[in-house]
Amino acid sequence: MRILERIAFVYYDDKKRFPALQKLCPQAEFRFVKDLPAADALREAAAQGVLLALENRKLRAAVLPLRDAPGARLYVLPYDVRSAADPVGIDLSKPRLDYMETEITRVCNLNCRGCCDFSNLANEPGGKFYDYDRYVSDLRQMKKLFWGIEKIRIMGGEPLLNPRLAEYAEAAREIFPDSDLRIVTNGLLLSGLSADVLARVKAADCSFDISNYPPTHRKKAEILHTLKNAGVACNFSVPMRFFFRNILEVPVDDPAPAFNNCIFTHCHMMGDGKLAPCSYAYCISRFNRRFGASYPETDFVDLYAEGLNGWDIRQAFSQPHEFCRCCGSGIIPFRWKGGVHSSDAKKEDWQIRRSFINTTLAPKAQRLVKNAAMTLRARIQKKQ
């Protein structure tokens, strides 16, 4: 039996999409919801087959009440991140991860001072790129742990330096058809991408997040023209004139203050068989090698560990973890500067010096603006 014929109920949150949904599932009963479906009604309907045609951001919370629902048949159609009208069946024995980024290129053409991924220090034995076959294997292992991932961001370094860029996007889309899939780039190399690469990125329902550094801002019109002609969606960040120091010179005992105050909590990073709670924890080995430091390099989950499940990972990543002891409770801004290669970099580009302002006033200020900053970031990251 085709998937669409197994759907008895369709929950949807956008009345403009009703005609298309009715054409897709003419046999189904349609239920409009402004926010999330009522849990009891959804559990009852799921036994007969339910399609959730909701905004992508709502799906994780909508599905959660059905975790232990016997015989539930559930499909999702995150219409705001997919052009294809293909419902995705989900395995309710697994959770959905909120966010994951993955670094397909370790080096960068900008070499920003104080890069949060330490890309200007990158000198991995494995080379410049995330091995493609390993990348696909790791994504498939993630699929064994999570039914979906709300947002996947393909990053660097500068991902456009990877000659197989389109393949990485296509693999992510094939394995996680539910995801809001984006390539994060400084945009300076976009005009050099072939029409074929851009067409394949578009076909994968993948958009570009453009980090608006000063050199990028000067080429904004050219970048927008290139993407508009290719029909690829994009999002330009606010102008990035400042970076932030975030690593403590001396780790503290309690990881909770930094975790609770972090603006970038839940920025999980996958690579080389690992899933780390954030990019700092994943990439800190570059800093250690360059400066002879000893920050912990073991704050990650081995994706291939026996007995591992997605629920345990979500629980572990939802609370303070080891590397949080190394992060400041208040990030310290400094003016952006590019062209800072490893030989020119200083540990002070990342480290927070102990002072009253840095360790007392900055954390208080960050607590006050955290919610507003996260709301603003979410709005900015909507596709333009």
Task: CATH number of the domain at 273, please.
Answer: 3.20.20.70
Does residue 308 sit in the same domain as residue 191? Answer: yes
Enter the tokens of residue 174: 């094939």
Can you tell me whether residue 160 is helix, strand or coil?
A: helix
Does residue 30 sit in the same domain as residue 148? Answer: no
Asked whether residue 297 is assigned to any structural domain, the reply reads yes
Asked whether residue 379 is assigned to any structural domain, the reply reads no
Strand partners, 136: none
Convert the pLDDT of each residue in 188-233 to its tens digit.
999 999 999 999 999 999 999 999 999 999 999 999 999 999 999 9
Does residue 302 sit in the same domain as residue 266? Answer: yes
Does residue 14 sit in the same domain as residue 122? Answer: no
Sign of CA dihedral 57, 208, 149, 52: positive
Does residue 165 sit in the same domain as residue 145? Answer: yes
Counted residue by residue, the chain has a size of 384
Does residue 177 sit in the same domain as residue 312? Answer: yes
Strand partners, 181: 152, 206
Asked whether residue 357 is assigned to any structural domain, the reply reads no
Contacts of 316 (CB under 8 A, 6+ apart): 277, 301
Enter the tokens of residue 233: 């969606």
Asked whether residue 196 is assigned to any structural domain, the reply reads yes
Asked whether residue 347 is assigned to any structural domain, the reply reads no
The count of domains in the chain is 2
* Domain-terminating residue out of 26, 61, 89: 89
Asked whether residue 275 is assigned to any structural domain, the reply reads yes
Asked whether residue 382 is assigned to any structural domain, the reply reads no
Contacts of 121 (CB under 8 A, 6+ apart): 115, 286, 287, 289, 290, 342, 345
Give the span between the Cα atoms of 156 and 226, in whole angstroms: 21
Asked whether residue 358 is assigned to any structural domain, the reply reads no
Does residue 125 sit in the same domain as residue 41? Answer: no
Does residue 101 sit in the same domain as residue 40? Answer: no
Q: Is the peptide bond before 156 cis (omega within 30 degrees of 0)?
A: no
Does residue 175 sit in the same domain as residue 310? Answer: yes
Does residue 136 sit in the same domain as residue 267? Answer: yes
* Domain-terminating residue out of 300, 319, 338: 319
**Hey, what amino acid is at 23?**
K
Question: Can you give the residue range of the structural domain that contains 39?
Answer: 3-89
* Domain-terminating residue out of 89, 105, 124: 89
Does residue 52 sit in the same domain as residue 160? Answer: no
pLDDT truncated to tens, each residue of the chain (384 aa)? 466 788 999 999 999 999 999 999 999 999 999 999 999 999 999 999 999 999 999 999 999 989 888 889 999 999 999 887 789 999 999 999 999 999 999 999 999 999 999 999 998 766 899 999 999 999 999 999 999 999 999 999 999 999 999 999 999 999 999 999 999 999 999 999 999 999 999 999 999 999 999 999 999 999 999 999 999 999 999 999 999 999 999 999 999 988 988 876 678 999 999 999 999 999 999 999 999 999 999 999 999 999 999 999 999 999 999 999 998 888 789 999 999 999 999 999 999 987 777 777 777 777 777 776 666 556 655 544
Task: CATH number of the domain at 26, please.
Answer: 3.40.50
Does residue 133 sit in the same domain as residue 159? Answer: yes
Give the span between the Cα atoms of 381 and 384, in whole angstroms: 9
Contacts of 290 (CB under 8 A, 6+ apart): 118, 121, 342, 345
Convert the pLDDT of each residue in 127-171 to its tens digit.
899 999 999 999 999 999 999 999 999 999 999 999 999 999 999
